[in-house]
Amino acid sequence: MGLNDTPSADRVHIGIFGRRNAGKSSIINAITGQNLAIVSDIKGTTTDPVSKAMELLPLGPVVMIDTPGLDDVGELGEKRIQKSYQVLNKTDIAVLVVDGAECAAARSVTDYEQIELELVKRFVEKKIPYVVVINKAEALDEIDQEKVAALFEKEKNLIFVSAAAGTNIPELKELIAKQVKADDMKLKIVGQFLEPGDFAVLVVPIDSAAPKGRLILPQQQVIRDVLEAGAIPVVTRETELTQALAGLAKKPKVVITDSQAFAKVSKDTPEDILLTSFSILFSNYKGNLKQQVQGAKALDSLQDGDKVLIAEGCTHHRQCDDIGTVKMPRWMENYTGKKLVFDFTSGVEFPEKEKLKQYKMVVHCGGCTLNEREMQHRLAVAGEQNIPMTNYGAAIAYMHGILKRSVEIFTEIWQEL
């Protein structure tokens, strides 16, 4: 992936919701001008959420998410519905698609209320900006339109369209774009702490787990952020850090390391240079660093037999010395001296409230592949259950006795420690 590509985690996530055959897939195809989603008259064609990263003018880089119908039936249908509701946890803008013809044919608006208005209620509860799209407008006369509009009389962001005829599709795209606050699209990971001309040293271990021929996503994003600030990124392995620091014309503002190398990098970095990790930067960027710093302290209260959840946002091939499934459990048991029970999740799978109660602690990766809304959702679920949640960087720094130093760049949090 090139540095000019916008990662999916930093794209606006647009979730398309509605009943089976409401025209969700047709709407996606119409607003993108591409056949991204399969369209069929057979109900239930979309059986799992399908995501597609793309450019959507005038909004810019987005991820479109087509979801299964919310009126699916049977045991399998219930599972599909739950998958659709899960998508809400990462949806930045929701688009509710209503079959105008079917809605107008209902005996009364109350026959058509349950699913649509329940979904609108969820949008409001989760503070998700949304648009109500009445599709198949070509089949509605003026009386029908008034009847359908009466169901959503309080919705200001309502629009009648025809995916088949292309009616009001440009207007729909404009309406969706208005739901997002204007943003200069610059990253805000570490650049806000840098002045033009500052040096930022990035420590990137090259081991068996490192991808061949490229840097991983958080490393790429931090480099781009440093460049956006007019600062100068210097990239080195931990084995050459001392040499790199000695060779610089002036003292760097910050050293940013892969969390796995925290111990060595801390030892080799002078105390008058700020030190942090990629994982900690991303926790602040899209999560809640204060919560995760406090969560690291739960390591001291773990007992034999306690269950710990180690969660990652991405799915990747597990190496023989994988940080999540091998290194982190080993470090935690060595630090606590306790025999712990570990569970692991990755990708979109993250336990909801009741299932999360069994854990004494959650340790999460930096979340570079998750968008801010999904990361905030995970932190909120843990917080509601009073379950301490930390991340790789904060946990590793805490176990090495350098947590306070690793968050010094975040003055408010540093002062509290």
Q: Are residues 172 and 24 in the same domain?
A: yes
For 131-159, the pLDDT digits (tens) are: 999 998 888 888 888 877 777 776 778 99
Kindly state whether residue 412 falls inside one of the protein's structural domains: no
Kindly state whether residue 198 falls inside one of the protein's structural domains: yes
pLDDT at 40 over 70: no
CA dihedral in degrees (97, 99, 105, 109; nearest 10)? -10
Q: Are residues 365 and 257 in the same domain?
A: no
Q: Are residues 16 and 144 in the same domain?
A: yes
Q: Are residues 158 and 240 in the same domain?
A: no
Q: Are residues 275 and 294 in the same domain?
A: no
Range of the domain at 343: 288-403
Q: What is the mean pLDDT of residues 156-181?
A: 89
Instruction: State the DSSP code for 399.
Output: H
Q: Are residues 42 and 173 in the same domain?
A: yes
Q: Are residues 272 and 293 in the same domain?
A: no
| Statement: the pTM of the whole predicted model exceeds 0.85 | no
For 47-90, the pLDDT digits (tens) are: 568 888 888 877 778 899 999 888 777 777 788 888 888 899 99
Q: Check residue 315 and give its pLDDT.
A: 65
The last residue of a domain, from among 148, 177, 206: 177
For residue 355, what are its two tokens?
């299932």
For residue 382, what are its two tokens?
């843990």
Please state the domain count of the chain: 3
The full 3-state SS of 130-188, as one line of letters, equals: EEEEEECHHHCCHHHHHHHHHHCCCCCCEEECECCCCECHHHHHHHHHCCCCCCCCCCC
Is the preceding omega at residue 388 within 30 degrees of 0, hence cis? no
For 335-360, the pLDDT digits (tens) are: 999 999 999 998 777 888 788 999 99
